[in-house]
Chain A
Amino acid sequence: MPTVSFTDNLQRHVSCPPIEVRGATVRAALDAAFDAYPTLRGYVLEDDGSVRRHITVWVAGEPVADRRGLTDSVNENDEVYVMQALSGG
């Protein structure tokens, strides 16, 4: 199963240790993580479901291409990292 991990800086606001999820796309994987950590959704995504401007999501070592639809594929053993972009200050 893919693993979703979140930047340590999020832990200060919402407890969200790494979690194994089911999901073949970034959207599905993140939705599964948000089911476990409901408060987290608004910290990572905008109202319209796109990735926040100063958040970056990486899958298997590459930044995701589709930041709005989150349609990038996630494979069985991939690691999904939700990180801060330095542009956010």
Chain B
Amino acid sequence: MADSDLLVATRKGLFIYGRTGGAWRVKHRAFIGDPVINVLHDPRDGARYAALKHGHFGPKLHRSDDGGVTWDEIATPAYPERPADREPDLCPMRGTEIEWKLDMVWELGIDYAHQGGLWAGTMPGGLFHSANRGGSWELNWPLWDRPGRKKWMGGGFDLPGIHSILTRPDAPAHITVGVSCGGAWSSDDGGASWEIRAKGMLATFMPPDQQDDPDAQDPHLIAWCAAQPDTLWTQHHCGIFKTTDGGKRWHEIKDAGPSTFGFAVAVHPADPDTAWFVPAVKDEHRVPADGRFVVTRTRDGGQSFDVLTSGLPRGEAYDIVYRHALALRGDGSTLAMGSTTGSLWVSSDQGDTWEHVSAHLPPVYAVKWG
């Protein structure tokens, strides 16, 4: 496989790394000083998309058609006006109004059913579709109108948001999305109808009789095995869960090394039993257990976990890897991750050893291969 670019979205800009002369080096940088929440590489046409959230000026989207050398602002999703006959949405935890206005574009995904089709997962919970490479966006009403959305709430943020968008070219009508907080949802008809698929997840932050409520679940990220997409893994707020039937029933993995709390998960594209996590102490602490920053990997479906440390900090370290900041390349071997303290690592051997690419980036929000 030819060398890929590594797209690193940070609190202070986007950095595109390439492998040259045996080292990872920054090829292009963009939006220096601005928060870049996430980035997407579209393999169909090579376009790259960046989701920004300016502190004063709000969320914006940009596209590059030259690999990241130059960028043009494209349309930003906008929520429609709430109809006068609809009651305001209220946060079920706090009773505060969840207004119909865009707070953040959190994740971008590819719609393989349409050339140039894209999905955008946003806060406060709207899924948007573009049929024209981000030239315009429309709210997906079928998901927005699901009664269960009234139970959605912020998880780590004030507002609920869609952070996972799973699509694939061999079944373009299928979409799975993950919501914090609001469970996992799938559509088999291109987004025309949705079914919640979070049964078996457990939200221990809820009252005892509501902990198994699918709508209350907080999957931090959902990833699937591309070759066997009925196997999905999630790093949930309350542990690690796996399903082998497309999300109809999830099962908890109770032992996974230092802890089962974290944000990120990556799944091997061909082997559904192989997955990676970056553990931390739950749940308001959010630091590595005992100040020891490690990656965990299972190769047997979650029965056992390797604790991977080679090339990672030997002394105390308080890096956290956010949910979008661990990425596995399509070769199934090359991993990259970026941390809250501005470190970037790459492993070419499934995490056995890590190369410390940088210790001085801004806090990393997302890492993607392109």
A interface, CB within 8 angstroms of B: 9-10, 13, 39, 42-44, 46-48, 52, 54-55, 84-85, 88-89
Contact = CB atoms under 8 A, between A and B. Distances in A.
B55 interface: yes
Contact of A47 (B54, B57, B102): B102
Contact of B56 (A46, A47, A48, A55): A55
B76 to A, nearest CB: 6
A10 B56 CA distance: 10
Contact of A52 (B58, B73, B79): B58
A43 B55 contact: no
Contacts of B76: 42
A76 to B, nearest CB: 29
A39 to B, nearest CB: 7
B87 interface: no
The 10 nearest A-B residue pairs measured at CB: A89-B55, A88-B56, A47-B101, A43-B57, A88-B55, A54-B56, A47-B78, A84-B56, A46-B101, A47-B79
Central interface residue in A9, A46, A84, by most chain B CB within 10 Å: A46
8 contacts: A13-B60, A42-B60, A42-B78, A43-B54, A43-B58, A46-B58, A48-B100, A89-B55
A46 B60 CA distance: 12
Interface of B: 54-58, 60, 73, 76, 78-79, 81, 99-102
A44 B54 CA distance: 11
Contact of A42 (B56, B58, B79, B99): B58
A48 to B, nearest CB: 5
Contacts of B102: 46-47
A88 B96 CA distance: 21
B57 A48 contact: no
A54 B53 CA distance: 13
Nearest to A49: B81
A46 to B, nearest CB: 5
A13 B57 contact: yes
A48 B99 contact: yes
Which of A47, A48, A52, A89 gathers the greatest number of chain B CB atoms within 10 Å? A47
Contact of A54 (B55, B78, B79, B81): B55
A44 B102 CA distance: 13
A47 B100 contact: yes
- Among B56, B58, B99, B101, max chain A CB count under 10 A is at B56
Given A39-B73, A43-B58, 19 more contacts: A9-B56, A13-B60, A42-B57, A42-B58, A42-B60, A42-B76, A42-B78, A46-B102, A48-B79, A48-B99, A52-B56, A52-B57, A54-B56, A55-B56, A55-B57, A84-B56, A85-B56, A89-B55, A89-B56
